[in-house]
Amino acid sequence: MILDDDGFMLIEIDGQSTRVDVFAVNNQLFELAKKFQDKPLVGYHEAILDFMVSLGFPRGSHRLASKFELAITGQVELLKKKANPSPE
């Protein structure tokens, strides 16, 4: 059996490229969402930005934090569908 490790994604922000493990990042975002579940969204976006900086990205806007979250969750869903294609 040959397995292709397609769980990484190269993300570029303001000229800074970083390769991330999509599922690990998604898990971190999930934990942040739980932590900020009953708190203002501004705190959640700040936490995402802090996390992004820890990954090596430059600090960005709250809009960027939202786009980052959507890109990661979208990629996870795509990889899950790819791994378990529905019968046609």
**Predicted local confidence at residue 69, as pLDDT:** 97
pLDDT in tens, the chain (88 residues): 777 788 999 999 999 999 999 999 999 999 999 999 999 999 999 999 999 999 999 999 999 999 999 999 999 999 999 887 766 6
Q: Where are the domains positioned within the chain?
A: 21-79
pTM of the model as a whole: 0.86
**Predicted local confidence at residue 36, as pLDDT:** 95
* Region for 22 from its dihedrals, namely left if φ exceeds 0, alpha if ψ lies in -120 to 50, beta otherwise: alpha
**Contact predicate 29/67, CB 8 Å:** no
